[in-house]
Structure 1
C-alpha cells in the first residue's frame, strides 16, 4: 500500500485510519506525508469529510502543508466543521490551529464578517485575531520587541500563491544547466507585504563534487579517465539578487516541491528543504534518474518544480514590562 501511496493513489484518508487501527506506523507516516503535501487536492475531494478529528489535528499542526495560502486552509476547515459538526471543544481547538498572522488583514475582516465558524466560535479565537491585527499594524522589528514571534502562528506553511514563490517547469532537464528568477514578498506582515525580493535560481542536472571532478593524469603522467556525466547529481541553488535578502530580524527558509502526474492530476511527489543558512538543497533529487524519459520524477519529459521562500521573523530585544 505504501508503494501505491507514493505513486499518488488513494484514498489516503482511509488508509490513514486503517494504519491507525492496525498499528502500522510506517503506513500512518506515509499517509500523513502524502496528505500534507497534497492537502488542496484532498480538501476538495469527498475524502475530506471522512477525516477524523484526530487526523485533522495532526494535519493542522504541521508546517509542511502544501496549499494555496492559509485562507484556503481556513475555508477547508470551515467546510469540515459544517460536514462533521464536532463538539465545540474540537471545533475551537481546530480554529485555534489556523495561523491568522499569515492571512492579510483585509481577508481577516471579511472572515469576521462572513464566516459561520467565527460567528459561532469567535470568542475562542478573539485573542489570536487581535494578535494577527497587531502583527500587521506594526513593523516586524517593533512588534518583535514586545511580543514573541517564534511560535508556529508566525511560521508560514508551504504556500503556492505568487507572493510566496513561483512554479518552474524545466523541459528536458538532463540536457544542460538552466536558470530563472522570481520575486516574493519580504514578509507576510502588512508592513512588508508590498516590498519585494528577487531570487535567482540555478539548476544543474549533473553537478560533480570535487571528489568526482575529472583528473586527467596522475603523478607519473598516466592518463586517468574523466568522470562520466552520470556520476554527477542534480543541483539547485537559490540566492537573493541583492543584499535585500538579508533583512534585520528575518531569515528565509527555502523549499522546492517536485510534482508528478497521476490520473490526470499533478501531485507533490517530494519536497526538499534548504538548511536555513544554505543556498542549496543538499539532497536535491539525489536518487532521481533524469536521463530516463519515463522517470517517475518527470511529467512528459519535464521536471515540474515549485519554489517557495518562507520569511521567518525572530524575536530581537524584549522590552521589560
Structure 2
C-alpha cells in the first residue's frame, strides 16, 4: 500500500520518529551558547543522517520499490525506498507515486550509473561527486526537481573547471550549460577556455569544440596563447577534423588576426597550409592587408585603415617578445624588481625598436590614506598599522621617455597562475588602464602570508606580464 494512506503515513512518520529518538539518546555534541552555561545546543545531526542511510541500505519498512531501467541495456537496478522521503524531496516523485507502490524509471546509461548516489542524497542530503558524474547528477536533479542538488552540482562545475580529467570536460560542460540555459556556467567555461587556451588546444577536447563556441572564442582579445601562429595551427587542426558548413569555416578563418603574425610566418602558412589553400579566396584580402601592415610605417598605414579594429589588436601572447614570466619565490619576504624588453609594436616596421620596462613588486604596500602614521614619531602610531591594512603592489613602468613611443598605447596585462586540483592554470587576469603604471586592486584579496593561499604554488607567486602595444588612430583612415 502506498504511503498516501493514513495508516501508511503514520507508519512512515513512526519510523522517522523512532530513528530520531534513537539518535538523540546516543552520545552527541553539546555546545554552550554565549556566556549562559544553561543554554546549550545538542547536535546529533550526523547520527540522524547515518540512521537514514541505514534505512535506505537495509530497506527497513520500505513501502515503495523504485526500478531504474538502463535504456541502453537490460540492466535494472532496484531500490527499496520510502514514500515519505521521496515525496518530501521531489515534487516529481510525489506526482509519479500517486496510487503506485512500484515505480519504473527509464534512464540513460550515465544517469543509471549514478542513480544510487542520487537517491542516497535524498535520504542524507550529502553526496560525493567526481568530474565525470557532474552532468548525469545534474540531469537527475533537474528531471526530478531536486533544486538544492541541482544548484550544488552547478556550483561544483563552476569551481572545478581546472580539474584533471582523461578526456577533458570543460567543453562538454559548456555544451551542457548551453542546453540547460545556465549562463553563469557558460561564461565560466568560456573564460577558463580563453585564459588557458594553450593547454586546451593540446588536449583531446579541442576537436570537440562546437561551431558556436569556436566563433565566440576567436572574437576575444583575452585569449592566452603562445602566439597567433599557434592559434592558427590549432584552428587548422579543428577545421581538418570537423565537417562544418562553409560559412562557419569562413567565419573562423576570418577571425584569425593575420596582422599579428610576422611576414616570415605568414609566407610559410600560405605555402604549407592545405586549409588556407582550400579557403584562400575567403581570406586573401586579410592576408594582403597583413602584409601591407608589416611593410609600411604605422603612421602611413593609419591613413588608409582603422588600426583600432580587432585585426590589429594583440591577444595575450605568452612569447618572450610580448612580455615576461616572473616567478617570485617567498613573495612576502621583501620587495623585488626586474627589467625586461618588448617590441615597440606588432608591425615589422617597428620590430627592431624595443621598449624597456621596469617592474616592482612589493608584498606590503601601504595605501596613501594610511601612510601618515609613519610621519608620527610616536611608537604607538607606528604600531597601530595592522598587517591586513597593507596589500601587494605591482608597478610596471617604461624606462624610456614617452617620445620614444609616440603614437602607441600600451595595455598591461598580468596573468596569475594558480594550482587547482593539482593542475596549473590561469585563474586571475588583471588589466591595467593604458595611462597608469599600477593597478589599485592587484591581489587585493590575496593572503600571501598563508602557505595554503590559492595564489601560491610551492610558496611562489607565478606572474606573467604581457605588454600589448596598440597603435593610436592619429589620422582618420580614408574611406
**TM-score, normalised by the number of residues in structure 1:** 0.94
C-alpha displacement of 1:87: 1.5
Residue 105 (structure 1) aligned with residue 269 (structure 2):
no
State the distance in 2 between where 1:222 and 1:170 align. 32
State the distance in 1 between where 2:187 and 2:403 align. 35
2:193 counterpart SS class? helix
Q: Is the 8 A contact 1:188 1:311 kept in 2?
A: yes
State the distance in 2 between where 1:315 and 1:246 align. 17
Root-mean-square deviation over aligned CA pairs: 2.0
Q: Is the 8 A contact 1:214 1:227 kept in 2?
A: no
Residue 47 (structure 1) aligned with residue 213 (structure 2):
no
Q: Is the 8 A contact 1:179 1:203 kept in 2?
A: yes
Residue 23 of structure 1, aligned match among 153, 173, 181: 181
1:4: which partner in 2?
Answer: 160
C-alpha displacement of 1:171: 0.3
Judging by fraction of residues, say which structure has more helix: 2
State the distance in 2 between where 1:253 and 1:217 align. 36
C-alpha displacement of 1:141: 1.1
State the distance in 1 between where 2:375 and 2:355 align. 46
Distance change >3 Å, CA 293–CA 121, structure 1 → 2: same
Count of residues in correspondence between the two structures: 319
Q: Is the 8 A contact 1:60 1:97 kept in 2?
A: yes
2:432: which partner in 1?
Answer: 274
Distance change >3 Å, CA 294–CA 106, structure 1 → 2: same
2:240: which partner in 1?
Answer: 82
C-alpha displacement of 1:89: 1.2
Q: Is the 8 A contact 1:213 1:226 kept in 2?
A: no
State the distance in 1 between where 2:250 and 2:440 align. 40
State the distance in 2 between where 1:190 and 1:217 align. 51
C-alpha displacement of 1:276: 1.3
C-alpha displacement of 1:267: 1.2
Q: What pairs with 1:60-79 in structure 2 (closer than 5 Å)?
A: 60-79=218-237
| Bigger shift: residues 82-91 or 239-248 | 239-248
State the distance in 2 between where 1:110 and 1:239 align. 36
C-alpha displacement of 1:249: 1.7
1:142: which partner in 2?
Answer: 300
**Cα-to-partner distance string for 1:251-276 (whole Å, 9 max, x where unaligned):** 10000101123466421121100011
Structure 1: tracts of 5 or more residues without a match:
none
Q: Is the 8 A contact 2:344 2:353 kept in 1?
A: yes
Distance change >3 Å, CA 45–CA 191, structure 1 → 2: same
Structure 2: tracts of 5 or more residues without a match:
1-156
Distance change >3 Å, CA 107–CA 127, structure 1 → 2: same
2:40: which partner in 1?
Answer: none
Residue 240 (structure 1) aligned with residue 398 (structure 2):
yes
Q: Is the 8 A contact 2:163 2:421 kept in 1?
A: no
C-alpha displacement of 1:215: 2.3
C-alpha displacement of 1:214: 5.5
Q: What pairs with 1:242-261 in structure 2 (closer than 5 Å)?
A: 242-243=400-401, 247-261=405-419
**Cα-to-partner distance string for 1:71-101 (whole Å, 9 max, x where unaligned):** 1110010010011121111111100000000
State the distance in 2 between where 1:123 and 1:166 align. 38
Distance change >3 Å, CA 217–CA 94, structure 1 → 2: closer
2:456: which partner in 1?
Answer: 298
C-alpha displacement of 1:282: 2.1
Q: Is the 8 A contact 2:174 2:185 kept in 1?
A: yes
Residue 230 (structure 1) aligned with residue 388 (structure 2):
yes
Q: Is the 8 A contact 1:6 1:269 kept in 2?
A: no
State the distance in 2 between where 1:208 and 1:99 align. 42
